[in-house]
Amino acid sequence: MKFTHLHTHSHYSLLQALPKLPELVAAAKKDGMEALALTDNGNLYGAIEFYKECQKQGVKPIIGVDAYLASRTRFDKQAGIDKDRFRMVLLCKNEKGYKNLMKLVTASYLEGFYYKPRIDFELLEKYSEGLICVSSSWSGDISTAVRNKNFQLADELLQKYKKIFSNNDGGDFYLEITMYPELLGHNEHMKALADFAKERNLPIVAAHDVYYILPEDKEARNTLMAVSQGAPQARGNSGGAWGNEEEDFSFLLDAEIKERFKEMPEAIFNNHKITALCNLELELGKWFFPDIKIASGRNADDELRFLAFEGLKKRGLPETKEILDRLEYELGVIKTKGY
């Protein structure tokens, strides 16, 4: 079975990534990959377009988000403290997970936005059903704690996640492992992270952050990042202030990924397992309207008529023939057209 990219960004990761959705899906299809995930930064802007494109090209779509986790709660927005945040990938297993992911993303913008749209553990506890959570290898809270050798904190966080994402088949929480041999010290940290997971019976999963398709696209992405950061464009392939000149976030092929993870076959196995668990099916082209209960007991047409005439009184408008005729006409149009 082919590897599945479960941590993938498109141009909907605004000023962070390059690929258009047809290009991403085509890259997976060309390498014979059966599935592909879309996990843009904090948003679902491309979800439906991605779903349709995968169906068109015969690739299984996995919809997700590369989410921002507040360091305290989503309501904390203190300068100098709450700009720090952690990362996690949330993937939909089914329709319930998709609906919960929409609720999480909505709350992250309406309630948690501080530099970035943020969620917190309270929201995760409320909307975890149908989702798989993968703690980021780069800036996840557990990875950060292990890097700092704060194993007590890492264990406390692990227990939180296990409680939230527990289920009958052993849990929907994984620790992401990424392999970047070009980055000094990264693979060593990943091995330490894998050892931490093994000692605690925590499943690890192989992943690779994708921000562009081909290695030579790196410089174009650096230009994008320069715009994002308001920083001068670095020369050549230098990552500037935000990256490393050697890092490679291109769309790696199945053979390269498996070579990098040859000493961690369980991480590849869990990549396949997650792919098999994610089976979202969306019914497109159908309107869904909320079932609103009207307190007065009137039907929708009668309630609208009542509110319209109440509006005349509130605004002090005289009930002249001209105004009443205009109101009746507008109500008739609304009823006929269905808006």
Give the contacts of 303 (CB within 8 A, at least 6 positions apart).
294, 296
Q: Quote the pLDDT of residue 170.
A: 53
Structure tokens at 194: 């894998």
Whole-number pLDDT of residue 286: 85
Mean pLDDT over 298-310 rounds to 91
Give me the pLDDT at residue 68, please: 98
pLDDT at 267: 98
The residue among 31 and 168 whose pLDDT is bigger is: 31
Confidence at 244, pLDDT banded by 50, 70, 90: low
What mean pLDDT comes out for the span 102-109? 98
CB distance 121 to 161 below 8 Å: no
Q: Residue type for 46, please?
A: G
Q: Which residue type does 234 have?
A: A
pLDDT above 60 for 132: yes
Residue 237 has pLDDT above 50, yes or no: no
Q: Which fold does the domain 21-214+250-277 belong to in CATH?
A: TIM Barrel (3.20.20)
- The Cα–Cα gap between 317 and 329 comes to 17
Residue whose pair of structure tokens reads 């092929």 in the numeric block? 253
What pTM did the predictor assign? Answer: 0.85
- Dist CA 155 CA 172 (whole Å): 17
- pLDDT value at 242 more than 70: no
At 81-98, the pLDDT tens digits run 999 999 999 999 999 999
Read off the pLDDT of each residue in 126-134 and give the average, rounded to a whole number.
Answer: 97
**pLDDT score of 238:** 43
Amino acid present at 292: I
Tens-digit pLDDT profile for residues 141-189: 999 999 999 999 999 999 999 999 986 455 899 999 999 999 999 999 9
Give the dihedral sign, CA 272/135/50/94.
Answer: positive
Question: Which is nearest to 219 in space by CA: 231, 209, 233?
Answer: 233
Q: How far are the Cα atoms of 302, 308, 319 from residue 313, in angstroms, in the given order? A: 17, 9, 9
Sorted by sequence, the CB contacts under 8 Å of residue 282 that are 6+ apart come out as: 48, 51, 95, 98
Show the tokens assigned to 181: 């041999």
Residue ranges of E strands in the chain: 35-41, 60-70, 85-92, 118-119, 131-135, 173-178, 204-207
pLDDT of residue 245: 63
> Where does the pLDDT of residue 239 fall: very low under 50, low under 70, confident under 90, or very high at 90 and above?
very low
Give the pLDDT score at 233.
61
Confidence check: pLDDT of 276 > 90 = yes
Average of per-residue pLDDT values in the chain: 92
pLDDT average, residue stretch 254-271:
98
CA distance 245 to 144: 22
Number of helical H runs and strand E runs in the chain: 12, 7
What's the pLDDT score for residue 29? 98
Distance from C-alpha of 231 to C-alpha of 72, rounded to nearest angstrom = 29
Tell me the three state secondary structure of residue 126: helix
Distance CA 311, CA 37 (A): 49
Cβ(254)–Cβ(30) below 8 Å: no
Confidence band of 298 (pLDDT split at 50, 70, 90): very high
For the cut 60, the answer to whether the pLDDT of residue 236 exceeds it is no
Question: Contact at 8 Å (CB) between 154 and 142?
Answer: yes
Long-range contacts of 93-97 (CB under 8 A, 24+ apart): 93/130, 93/131, 93/132, 93/172, 93/277, 93/278, 93/279, 93/280, 94/130, 94/279, 94/280, 94/281, 95/130, 95/280, 95/281, 95/282, 96/129, 96/130, 97/129, 97/130, 97/131, 97/132, 97/280
The pLDDT-based confidence of 293 (bands split at 50, 70, 90) is confident
* Stronger pLDDT, 236 or 164, i.e. the higher one: 164
Strands 85-92 and 60-70: antiparallel
